[in-house]
Homo-oligomer: A and B are copies of this chain.
């Protein structure tokens, strides 16, 4: 069973954490069979933690987890902190196979998305 784990920073502002939960639910609806399960986890300031979310995925039957960092830049969180947290989850669940995808900001589609946001704000103004 194939799980996708969306990993966000986590915020003291509960509404920001709720945005992440809603996004994971939206992804669950859109996954179209590519993943059996979509869960979310937070690096800090909110629950579930990354190791906790990995435990949850395994409890739900996941044999493979793809972690997707919901981050815009390759800062310390992406390069060091998330891998460290995943290593803890892997240690606690040695049988599960874990893959980490590129972070969101690395996607080439972002530039066009930002232009679209700007055009929309203008109401099509040239």
Residues of A within 8 A of B (CB): 2, 4, 6, 8, 11, 13, 15-16, 19-20, 23, 26-27, 30-31, 33-35, 64, 66, 68, 70-76, 99-107, 109-122, 125-126
Contact = CB atoms under 8 A, between A and B. Distances in A.
A4 B6 CA distance: 30
Contact of A35 (B20, B73, B118): B118
B73 A114 contact: no
Contacts of A71: 72
Contacts of A110: 23, 104, 113
A12 B121 CA distance: 30
A101 B121 contact: yes
